[in-house]
Structure 1
Amino acid sequence: MKHSELWRAVEAVYGSAYGRSLVKDLVLPGLGHTAQEALDAGESPRRVWDALCDETDASEADRWVYREDPRKR
């Protein structure tokens, strides 16, 4: 997963404003940081995405939304 795919997935699943708020403010227990802090520390976008999905109980379909072609949404 690339950083751009992470941000596309955050927006698709959580919406633009709420998604960015989650990334900035929600501490992810699996990482011990917020998503933004983890990314800034060099954590892989895929690990951050998985932790965000775990913490928010995202559906299986939502977990894989970044693999969809955005032109088909």
Structure 2
Amino acid sequence: MRNTVFRRLMADEFGEVRAETIARDHVLSSLGGRTVDEALEAGQEPKEVWQAICDAFDVPFERR
């Protein structure tokens, strides 16, 4: 998954403003205690980050 696809999925799921806020501020233990932005900057794959977001926010299977 490309970063642009990941950002589109985030915006579609949470709305553009909330997606940006989650990516910047929400710390996930499944990402090593990092935010989405920190994990992506550290080189973690967007698909792995998306899975962590889906798990943390109970995104339904059909939208994963």
TM-score interval (norm. to shorter) = over 0.9
Counterpart CA distance in 2 for 1:45 and 1:12 is 15
Counterpart CA distance in 2 for 1:18 and 1:62 is 17
Residue type matched to 1:50 in 2?
Q
Query: Hey, what does 1:8 align to over in structure 2?
Result: 8
Calculate the TM-score normalised by the size of structure 2. 0.93
Counterpart CA distance in 2 for 1:29 and 1:62 is 22
Calculate the TM-score normalised by the size of structure 1. 0.82
Q: Which of 1 and 2 has higher RCO (CA within 8 Å, sep 6+)? A: 1
Which runs of 5 or more structure 2 residues have no equivalent in the other structure? none
- Aligned CA-pair RMSD: 0.7
Q: Alpha-carbon deviations, 1:19-59, whole Å to 9, x = none?
A: 11011111111112100000010100001111011111111
The structure with more radius of gyration: 1
